[in-house]
Amino acid sequence: MLVAIALAALALRAGLALRRARHAGARRGRALFERHYRFAKPAVVLGVTGFALGPLSMWALRGRAPFETVHAIVGVVAAGLFAATGLLGRRLERGTDRPIEAHARLGVALILASAAAAVMGFVLLP
Protein backbone atom coordinates (compact mmCIF):
# COMPACT_ATOMS: atom_id res chain seq x y z
CA MET A 1 0.00 0.00 0.00
CA LEU A 2 2.93 2.34 0.55
CA VAL A 3 3.81 1.95 -3.13
CA ALA A 4 0.21 2.79 -4.08
CA ILE A 5 0.29 5.91 -1.90
CA ALA A 6 3.67 6.97 -3.31
CA LEU A 7 2.43 6.51 -6.87
CA ALA A 8 -0.76 8.43 -6.04
CA ALA A 9 1.38 11.27 -4.65
CA LEU A 10 3.43 11.34 -7.86
CA ALA A 11 0.21 11.32 -9.89
CA LEU A 12 -1.07 14.22 -7.80
CA ARG A 13 2.13 16.12 -8.47
CA ALA A 14 1.78 15.53 -12.22
CA GLY A 15 -1.90 16.47 -12.03
CA LEU A 16 -1.04 19.73 -10.31
CA ALA A 17 1.39 20.52 -13.14
CA LEU A 18 -1.46 19.97 -15.60
CA ARG A 19 -3.70 22.22 -13.51
CA ARG A 20 -1.11 25.00 -13.35
CA ALA A 21 -0.68 24.85 -17.14
CA ARG A 22 -4.45 24.92 -17.67
CA HIS A 23 -4.92 27.93 -15.37
CA ALA A 24 -2.00 29.76 -17.00
CA GLY A 25 -3.54 29.20 -20.42
CA ALA A 26 -0.43 27.30 -21.51
CA ARG A 27 -0.51 24.38 -23.88
CA ARG A 28 -0.63 21.08 -22.02
CA GLY A 29 1.44 18.69 -24.07
CA ARG A 30 0.79 15.00 -24.35
CA ALA A 31 3.90 14.31 -22.24
CA LEU A 32 2.29 15.96 -19.20
CA PHE A 33 -0.78 13.76 -19.53
CA GLU A 34 1.31 10.64 -20.08
CA ARG A 35 3.34 11.32 -16.94
CA HIS A 36 0.12 11.66 -14.94
CA TYR A 37 -1.29 8.42 -16.39
CA ARG A 38 2.00 6.56 -15.82
CA PHE A 39 1.67 7.08 -12.06
CA ALA A 40 -2.10 7.24 -11.63
CA LYS A 41 -3.14 4.01 -13.33
CA PRO A 42 -0.92 1.66 -11.30
CA ALA A 43 -1.75 3.63 -8.14
CA VAL A 44 -5.45 2.91 -8.61
CA VAL A 45 -4.88 -0.77 -9.34
CA LEU A 46 -2.55 -1.21 -6.36
CA GLY A 47 -4.79 0.82 -4.04
CA VAL A 48 -7.92 -1.17 -4.80
CA THR A 49 -6.03 -4.49 -4.77
CA GLY A 50 -4.36 -3.63 -1.47
CA PHE A 51 -7.73 -2.80 0.03
CA ALA A 52 -9.12 -6.15 -1.09
CA LEU A 53 -6.17 -8.00 0.43
CA GLY A 54 -6.32 -6.16 3.77
CA PRO A 55 -9.40 -7.90 5.17
CA LEU A 56 -8.11 -11.23 3.89
CA SER A 57 -4.85 -10.63 5.77
CA MET A 58 -6.71 -9.78 8.98
CA TRP A 59 -8.78 -12.94 8.78
CA ALA A 60 -6.24 -15.45 7.43
CA LEU A 61 -2.96 -14.25 8.95
CA ARG A 62 -4.02 -12.57 12.16
CA GLY A 63 -7.19 -14.45 13.06
CA ARG A 64 -9.14 -11.24 13.63
CA ALA A 65 -12.39 -9.90 12.24
CA PRO A 66 -11.62 -7.97 9.04
CA PHE A 67 -13.43 -4.70 9.76
CA GLU A 68 -13.02 -4.21 13.50
CA THR A 69 -10.45 -1.38 13.42
CA VAL A 70 -10.52 2.33 12.65
CA HIS A 71 -7.84 1.57 10.06
CA ALA A 72 -10.39 -0.55 8.19
CA ILE A 73 -13.01 2.19 8.20
CA VAL A 74 -10.56 4.78 6.91
CA GLY A 75 -9.32 2.16 4.43
CA VAL A 76 -12.84 1.77 3.04
CA VAL A 77 -12.97 5.54 2.50
CA ALA A 78 -9.52 5.55 0.86
CA ALA A 79 -10.44 2.61 -1.41
CA GLY A 80 -13.62 4.39 -2.45
CA LEU A 81 -11.59 7.49 -3.25
CA PHE A 82 -9.08 5.44 -5.27
CA ALA A 83 -11.96 3.95 -7.28
CA ALA A 84 -13.88 7.21 -7.74
CA THR A 85 -10.79 9.18 -8.72
CA GLY A 86 -9.79 6.47 -11.17
CA LEU A 87 -13.26 6.32 -12.73
CA LEU A 88 -13.44 10.07 -13.19
CA GLY A 89 -9.91 10.06 -14.56
CA ARG A 90 -10.91 7.41 -17.07
CA ARG A 91 -13.85 9.55 -18.20
CA LEU A 92 -11.51 12.51 -18.62
CA GLU A 93 -8.99 10.44 -20.57
CA ARG A 94 -11.66 9.14 -22.92
CA GLY A 95 -13.17 12.59 -23.36
CA THR A 96 -16.66 11.41 -22.44
CA ASP A 97 -17.03 13.96 -19.67
CA ARG A 98 -15.20 16.94 -18.14
CA PRO A 99 -15.24 16.34 -14.35
CA ILE A 100 -11.85 18.04 -13.93
CA GLU A 101 -12.54 19.79 -10.62
CA ALA A 102 -14.22 16.76 -9.05
CA HIS A 103 -11.31 14.55 -10.15
CA ALA A 104 -8.80 17.00 -8.66
CA ARG A 105 -10.62 17.29 -5.34
CA LEU A 106 -11.01 13.53 -5.06
CA GLY A 107 -7.30 13.12 -5.78
CA VAL A 108 -6.36 15.38 -2.89
CA ALA A 109 -8.86 13.63 -0.59
CA LEU A 110 -7.41 10.29 -1.70
CA ILE A 111 -3.92 11.29 -0.58
CA LEU A 112 -5.19 12.55 2.78
CA ALA A 113 -7.32 9.47 3.48
CA SER A 114 -4.55 7.13 2.37
CA ALA A 115 -2.02 8.84 4.60
CA ALA A 116 -4.43 8.63 7.54
CA ALA A 117 -5.05 4.93 6.88
CA ALA A 118 -1.30 4.31 6.67
CA VAL A 119 -0.67 5.97 10.02
CA MET A 120 -3.55 4.07 11.62
CA GLY A 121 -2.24 0.82 10.19
CA PHE A 122 1.08 1.02 12.05
CA VAL A 123 -0.51 -0.45 15.19
CA LEU A 124 -1.55 -3.51 13.19
CA LEU A 125 1.98 -4.40 12.10
CA PRO A 126 3.37 -7.58 13.63
List per-residue pLDDT tens for the chain, 126 residues long. Answer: 999 999 999 999 999 999 999 999 998 889 999 999 999 999 999 999 999 999 998 898 888 888 989 999 999 999 999 999 999 999 999 998 889 999 999 999 999 999 999 999 888 877
Residues shown for the chain:
126
pTM (two decimals): 0.88
Q: How many C-beta atoms surround the C-beta of residue 30 within 10 A?
A: 7
Q: Cα–Cα distance between 76 and 94 in angstroms, integer?
A: 27
